[in-house]
């Protein structure tokens, strides 16, 4: 039977949130911030735990957040022991993939998801899994077609100078979850020399594999700033 392991990356420190505030709640890393009495990481986690095709779930966390993790997460038969992430998201994913190789080697496919995206749905998980198990691609990501117009900008001290226009035609924002053939993404992580990847599909592109863009949603926002948290609070 096909084995699918979900990896939730939650080892970041959320520096782009306002962590300088004196309010203690604001010092909590974003993935452990609560909306309606439930931490953001639990929204993401539940979507995988409740999905019938997902066999195992692993959270990648930061060692200093261990107490927060233990306070927030309840045991579940699909949920394996947490693992410790690295300095970058790429390193955190690599740690998880090596752990899966050593501890859940029967895994055929992995789904990788940002803990900071609490609004992902069961249907969107299906949109990632289907092309993988029907072998249409070795890498699939949720994505969302660009609606705004785009320009590059150059930041000065006082303002942002507009630079070249970037056409929105065929432009897609990349989201998570992203799904992969386990062996392919493991090899890509083990052999890449480029340590600046911010998503995992770019590692597969580096080794010449095609990626499919599956249908995500504009609601599947990643909480990056406090403004995003306000947006998510209105939707959850
Ligand atoms: N992440 C991770 N390990 C890291 C960095 C990030 O597991 N070393 C995770 C985050 O916890 C988050 C996801 O990757 O769920 C997306 O990263 P991002 O939104 O950049 O979160 P942070 O790195 O925490 O935020 P910031 O970049 O503002 O510090
Ligand atoms: Mg980051």
Work out the percent of the chain whose per-residue pLDDT is above 90. 95
The CB of 18 under 6 Å from ligand 1? The reply is no
pLDDT band at 7 (very low <50, low <70, confident <90, very high): very high
Q: Assess contact for 182 and 108: CB atoms under 8 A.
A: yes
pLDDT score recorded for residue 27: 78
Atom of ligand 1 at shortest distance to CA of 60?
7
Tens digits of residue pLDDT in 159-186 = 999 999 999 999 999 999 999 999 999 9
Taking alpha carbons only, the member of 104, 50, 107, 59 closest to residue 83 is: 59
Q: What are the b/e assignments for 6-43, b being 16+ CB within 10 Å? A: bbbbbbbebeebeeeeeeeeeebbbbbbebeeebbbbb
**Tokens matching residue 17:** 């949130």
pLDDT at 235: 95
User: Which of 89, 96, 99, 196 for a ligand 1 pocket mutation test, highest count of atoms within 8 Å of Cβ?
Assistant: 89
Q: Residue 233: which residues within 8 A CB-CB, separation 6 or more?
A: 35
pLDDT of residue 26: 57
pLDDT of residue 164: 97
Q: pTM, whole model, 2 decimals? A: 0.96
CA–CA distance from 14 to each of 80, 94, 103 (Å)?
A: 24, 20, 29
Asked if the model's pLDDT at residue 3 lies above 90, the reply is yes
Does the C-beta of 115 come closer than 6 Å to ligand 1? yes
Whether the CB of 87 sits within 6 Å of ligand 1 = yes
* Separation of CA 14 and ligand 2 centre (Å): 7
Distance CA 224, CA 148 (A): 19
pLDDT for residue 19? 60
pLDDT of 24: 52
Report the pLDDT value the prediction gives residue 22, as an integer from 0 to 100. 58
- Ligand closest to 10 (CA) is 1
Q: How far is the CA of 124 from the centre of ligand 1 (A)?
A: 21
- Give me the mean pLDDT over the 35-61 stretch: 97
pLDDT in tens, 183-213: 999 999 999 999 999 999 999 999 999 999 9
Q: Tell me, using a 6 A CB cutoff, whether residue 177 lines ligand 1.
A: no
Q: State which ligand 1 atom lies nearest to the alpha carbon of 29.
A: 24
Phi, psi torsion values for 162, nearest 5 degrees: -70, 130
Residue identifier of the C-alpha nearest atom 23 of ligand 1: 12
Distance CA 215, CA 212 (A): 10
Compute and round to an integer the Cα radius of gyration of the chain: 18
């Amino acid at each position: 039977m096909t084995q699918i392991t979900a990896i939730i990356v939650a080892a970041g420190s959320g520096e782009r949130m306002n962590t300088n505030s004196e309010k203690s709640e604001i010092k909590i890393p974003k993935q452990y911030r609560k909306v309606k009495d439930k931490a953001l990481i639990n929204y993401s986690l539940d979507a995988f735990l409740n999905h019938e095709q997902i066999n195992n779930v692993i959270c990648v966390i930061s060692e200093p957040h261990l107490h927060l993790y233990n306070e927030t997460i309840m045991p579940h038969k699909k949920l394996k022991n947490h693992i410790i992430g690295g300095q970058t998201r790429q390193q955190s994913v690599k740690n998880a993939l090596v752990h899966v190789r050593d501890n859940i080697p029967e895994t055929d496919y992995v789904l990788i998801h940002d803990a900071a995206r609490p609004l992902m749905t069961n249907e969107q998980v299906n949109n990632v899994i289907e092309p993988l198990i029907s072998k249409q691609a070795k890498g699939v990501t949720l994505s969302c077609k660009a609606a705004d117009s785009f320009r590059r900008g150059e930041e000065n001290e006082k303002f942002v100078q507009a630079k070249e226009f970037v056409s929105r035609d065929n432009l897609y924002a990349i989201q998570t979850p992203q799904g992969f053939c386990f062996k392919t993404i493991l090899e890509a992580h083990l052999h890449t020399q480029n340590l600046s990847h911010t998503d995992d599909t770019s590692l597969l592109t580096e080794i010449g594999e095609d990626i499919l863009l599956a249908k995500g949603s504009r609601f599947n926002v990643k909480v990056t700033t406090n403004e995003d948290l306000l947006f998510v609070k209105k939707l959850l």
